[in-house]
Structure 1
């Protein structure tokens, strides 16, 4: 069933359209830097002023720009369609006739969401590296700590940042899976997931809600900048992984509780 679901995911035009949209982010940023004299000092996203000197930073900027909105939107599309999409098309009850339990079906659906999160981040980071190489060339990376990494270590550090971002999306994917069990209208679920991601980031920016910040699934989304130091500061990675694991467990349990008792009529 997992192989079948993955095949269905990657043969959809919608999936490749989402990948193309993500890949366009570093392309547009790279072209903007290339045709201009560079951004005014102090303006633009972090690391943008380093792109022209080292194309590797284009991948970092692309990820930094996409984490708040573009990546959550793509995850919302896939997660929101996971169960609600099957129900709206009338195929959910046929899936349940397969020799797999409802818990097993939920695990398969979430595994597909996880694979999509990893693939989306890989496409974005890979496009950033390739476009940066073509437009600006690649040099050993100078980290925030002032240390310089060789090319091999620099590529490994980009891969580590991509892994951090992929982990950051797992909690949102679990929330989306749960919301998808509540409705037969996938578009509404997708919108709800996207709005929730934006609302969590707005709440995280309000000092009046300091008590809530450690519990928001978006709290550590941009903490991957700590990976651009020597030695690597792992605190953000560990805190982010623990937080996302908590959301996966809680909303995975809620999704099972809802789906296991749901009357499937379509």
Structure 2
């Protein structure tokens, strides 16, 4: 007679490599990869079709002066909406898609503990979002280097940073954008645990970001605007100056991380109580 099966180790179910493979096989992941490569090329083509600039003093006017300037412009252009959608897509779709496919109940019957399932999916979603943003900036640097050459970073205020120092500042700016957007990912992830419609979770997080940005632009709200997660979304531009002022960035990171924890806790509590077998 064969020995009886021992207890199932729930902690070993759904390893990270399996979830990574599942996400890489998704069509939306492939489309994000295409976008990361294609968009910088489209930006270069747009500048080429537009001809020479007028010598203005905005990031758009300075984008073609060097590879770092081009990457900074791309970061500025993408961080307001494109990266928001990218983060919301990876975070909001990961659990809700399983529910819409009716495969979530089978994952939990594997068995996979609910907290482990959320942890694995959250880690892979965060890694995918970060990789997408970092890859986009890296492609922009390479494309900008080929198209405009390697040179110093020139800010609209006339300040200049050496190319390698500017590269380090760009890395810090990218890291700030990634961390600052964690609240969007956490909100989308929480919504994804509450609905079977992936687009609802993704759209809800994007809409929340848009509403926060609108409210942050209303000066009549005074100091209340500082509590909005998008108020300091662009604070990373302080890194482009020779002397960096960190106050706004610290506040922006703290606000985002607090909201990330809140939405993360709500996701865990709500998912543990959710009936996913009905």
Determine if the alignment matches structure 1 residue 102 to structure 2 residue 114.
yes
Instruction: Give the drift of 1:3.
Output: 2.2
Q: How many residues align?
A: 264
Select the structure of larger CA radius of gyration. 2
Determine if the alignment matches structure 1 residue 178 to structure 2 residue 159.
no
Cα–Cα, structure 1 residues 213 and 41, in superposed 2: closer, same or farther, change >3 Å? farther
- For 1:264 and 1:36, the matched residues in 2 are separated by 53
- For 1:10 and 1:250, the matched residues in 2 are separated by 29
Secondary structure of residue in 1 paired with 2:83: helix
Instruction: Give the drift of 1:100.
Output: 4.5
Residue 275 of structure 2: aligned partner: 263
Q: Indicate if the aligned counterparts of 1:34 and 1:135 stay in contact, CA closer than 8 A.
A: no
Cα–Cα, structure 1 residues 154 and 42, in superposed 2: closer, same or farther, change >3 Å? closer
Determine if the alignment matches structure 1 residue 25 to structure 2 residue 39.
yes
Q: Indicate if the aligned counterparts of 1:176 and 1:189 stay in contact, CA closer than 8 A.
A: yes
Cα–Cα, structure 1 residues 236 and 30, in superposed 2: closer, same or farther, change >3 Å? farther
Instruction: Give the drift of 1:25.
Output: 3.2
Residue 86 of structure 2: aligned partner: 74
Listed as ranges, the matches of 1:56-67 within 5 Å are 56-67=68-79
User: Which of 237, 245, 249 is equivalent to 2:249?
Assistant: 237
Q: Which runs of 5+ in 2 are unaligned?
A: 1-14
Q: Please, what is the CA RMSD of the aligned residues?
A: 2.2
Q: Indicate if the aligned counterparts of 2:92 and 2:191 stay in contact, CA closer than 8 A.
A: yes
Instruction: Give the drift of 1:11.
Output: 2.8
Q: Which runs of 5+ in 1 are unaligned?
A: none
Listed as ranges, the matches of 1:82-161 within 5 Å are 82-98=94-110, 100-143=112-155, 148-161=160-173
User: Over residues 22-52 of structure 1, what are the superposed CA-to-partner deviations in whole Å (9 max), with x where a residue is unaligned?
Assistant: 4433322222223333445669xx4121122
Q: TM-score, normalised by structure 2?
A: 0.86
Q: TM-score, normalised by structure 1?
A: 0.90
Cα–Cα, structure 1 residues 236 and 16, in superposed 2: closer, same or farther, change >3 Å? farther
Q: Indicate if the aligned counterparts of 1:143 and 1:230 stay in contact, CA closer than 8 A.
A: no
